[in-house]
Structure 1
Amino acid sequence: MPVISTSVLRRTAFGAAGAAAAGVGYASLIERNAFVLREATMPVLRPGSAPLRVLHISDLHMTPGQKLKQQWLRELDRLEPDLVINTGDNLSHQKAVPAVVQSLGGLLSRPGLFVFGSNDYFAPVPKNPLKYFDKNHKRVHGAPLPWKDLRAAFNERGWLDLTHTRRDIEVGGIRIASAGVDDPHLQRDRYDTIAGAPNPLADLRIGVTHSPEPRVLDRFAEDGYDLILAGHTHGGQLCLPGYGALVTNCDIDRSRVKGPSKWGAHTRLHVSAGIGTSPWAPYRFCCRPEATLLTLVAVPPTQPTADSGHGISTSQAVAR
């Protein structure tokens, strides 16, 4: 049996350590700040409806000093979306509210809907990353965050809070029935407060939640919502080529951890991989931070109703 010399073992160990360090450096310094705009076309509108452009943003996890992220967010207003939907986890610092409001800038002057997530209510805390593989691990919350100040700022600029609320709005000539729940990740969802079929006169029915927990998605689908938007998963945050996300941090399966998919026979789901990370886990790998511009279009006339099965096409482009 061949004997491996100590020097070979040492070089191998150093090589492995070097590769690991390079990977951590890339994930924490490069990819975490490699923001991308993704685009998806989803046919969910009634036949004959004009397209509707919806900007889906989620999981900013903002701290005051994140200037690169703040500048990128400000540039999103150039997309001129018809509607902005924010699915929560905006904050990661007690003093981050001004940074969030200033970064969203002109987007706050456009029609907007929002719900909050756990990191709007509580600051993140250090944790063992292996806990993400245990869905039933005990959650520890940090200090309370100024979510009420953020809600007031959003409301003052005209965005509508969907937390356990149903709202009917009109955007670009499209009548939208919308509803949302508080964060299911914290067990704060109370779907019964919004239960029931949405306005039958609406051209589009949108459900909004922070964490895409199946128990909530099922309720939206049963009530007849065409589209559900969620965040929370960070797209897995750490992914492997050819395999994808290692974990979802909720009960949704890995195949739906980000992007568009079907939920049941008649409902479409879009999960955002999010824009930020916890300051205690500042890395992404094979999962760039993102916002998504959804172009909602009419169901092809060959299909009988807006609820019939159809495909989804996606593409991506870097925001500049």
Structure 2
Amino acid sequence: MHRTAPRTTAARLSAATLTGARRAALAAGLCASAGAAAAAYGWWEKEQFVLREETVPVLPAGSRPVRVLHLSDIHFVPGQEKKARWLSGLADLEPDLVVNTGDNLSHPDAVAPLLAAVAPLLRFPGVFVPGSNDYYAPVLKNPAGYLVGPSNRKPLPRRIELDWRRLFTGFGAGGWIDLTNRSQSLNLDDVRFDFSGVDDPHLRRERYADWPRGASGYETKPNIRVAVIHAPYQRVLDHFTDAGADLILAGHTHGGQICLPGFGALVSNCDLPTWRAKGLTPWENDGRVVPLNVSGGIGTSRFAPVRIACRPEAVLLTLTARP
């Protein structure tokens, strides 16, 4: 009977090394496949637009409901036809008011197609504030940097300034009110809406304009105070809460953009707790509580065009009378 000679120590080590190398190669292959699958899914999900609906009892007693369409972080790029059609179709909701909380652009040539896409919405009363990507085009960067902390707040020398003046003029020509560090009242049926807005807190441009004192014919109407901001930094939320806001609307977070099912957002790109990165939650400061709606946003940076477990959204808020 033939017997196999016992393996030497060197042979055993060589076999173990080969087995380890195969395992490492298999693990690397599986990680690469999972990454490719996640990227493909994220590319698909970024165009699965949804409408989130909320009811907020903040109007004066006896007021009829007011439907507010909250848009944010469109990040438009020329050629995004599906997004353009979806935006235009939101006009079918017939909102009483449109609130745009900034970051409309993601490309130097996006102003004209963006204004064309939202043109049907400009026939409704509206207000807006800017985000950093209304002023500057996004730049290519390592997406992992967002896991460390908020993105760079200072305009870099290589950044391209966008045609924000044309954007603001287009919104204004349609009748939307610019709330960039401004306040203004708007009469909607039997309620006076007192708005106060700020420039983008992510760039530290916010300057508070207090609340409007009303305009001729508005003084005797019941009123509601609405704060409009792009990036929901806590210092700004606290300011408007202390100042007597009845409702705060914000964007910027993209809802986390890449979320873990069952866990939620990993980042908010500001100092807002990640569990507040999307949705309607109560914001409290010094014993006063204000409803805060943070939109999960409609788009992404053109350099990070994926969403995972965080579908792009517009929000329809039905404001009702307080109990």
Give the C-alpha shift of residue 195 in structure 1. 2.7
Q: For the Cα contact (< 8 Å) 2:196–2:211, is it kept in 1?
A: no
Q: Structure 1 counterpart of 2:305, which letter? A: P
Residues 168-226 of structure 1, C-alpha deviation per residue, up to 9 Å, x if partnerless? Answer: 111133211111000000010012xx136865854211000000011111111111110
Q: TM-score, normalised by structure 1?
A: 0.88
1:117 corresponding residue in structure 2: 131
Distance 2:163 2:212 in 1: 34
* Counterparts of residues 277-296 of structure 1 (less than 5 Å): 277-296=300-319
Amino acid at match of 1:237: Q
Q: Residues 4-59 of structure 1, C-alpha deviation per residue, up to 9 Å, x if partnerless?
A: 5655554443233212211111102x101111111011111112111000000000
| Unmatched tracts of structure 1, length 5 or more | 301-320
Moved more, 126-135 or 169-178: 126-135
With over 3 angstroms needed to count, the CA separation of the structure-2 counterparts of 1:84 and 1:137, relative to structure 1, is: closer
Residue of 146, 156, 175 corresponding to 1:158: 175
SS at match of 2:255: helix
> Which of 283, 292, 298 matches 1:263?
283
1:82 aligns with 2:96: yes
State which of 190, 199, 221 in structure 1 corresponds to 2:241.
221
Matched residue, 2:8: none
Compute the TM-score of the two structures, normalised by the length of structure 2. 0.87
Distance 1:136 1:33, change over 3 A: closer
**Contact residue 183 and residue 210 of structure 2 kept, 8 A:** no
- CA 1:148–1:202 in structure 2 vs 1: closer, same or farther (change >3 Å)? farther
| C-alpha separation in 1, matches of 2:144 and 2:260 | 16
User: Number of aligned pairs?
Assistant: 297
CA contact (8 A) 1:245 1:254 kept: yes
User: How many Å separate the matches in 2 of 1:113 and 1:175?
Assistant: 14
**Cα separation, 1, equivalents of 2:227 and 2:73:** 18
Q: How far, CA to CA, are the matches of 2:24 and 2:148 in structure 1? A: 35
Distance (Å, rounded) in 2 between the aligned partners of 1:10 and 1:217: 49
* Structure 1 segments of 4+ aligned residues over 2 angstroms from their partners: 2-16, 133-141, 195-203
1:274 to 292, 297, 311: 297
Give 1:32's aligned residue: 46
Contact 2:60 2:222 in 1 (8 A): no
- Distance across 2 between alignment mates of 1:254 and 1:138: 19
The alignment yields a C-alpha RMSD, in angstroms, of: 2.0
Out of 145, 154, 174, which is 2:162 matched to? Answer: 145
1:64-114, CA deviations, whole angstroms, 9 ceiling, x for partnerless residues? 111111111010000000000000000111111111111112110100000
Q: Is the 8 A contact 2:260 2:266 kept in 1?
A: yes
Matched, 1:57 2:80: no
Instruction: Return the alpha-carbon distance in structure 2 between the equivalents of residues 279 and 168 of structure 1.
Output: 35
Q: Which runs of 5+ in 2 are unaligned?
A: 1-14
Find the aligned partners of 2:148 and 2:27 in 1 and give their Cα distance. Answer: 33
2:187 pairs with one of 170, 178, 188: 170
Report which of the two structures shows the higher radius of gyration computed on alpha carbons. Answer: 2
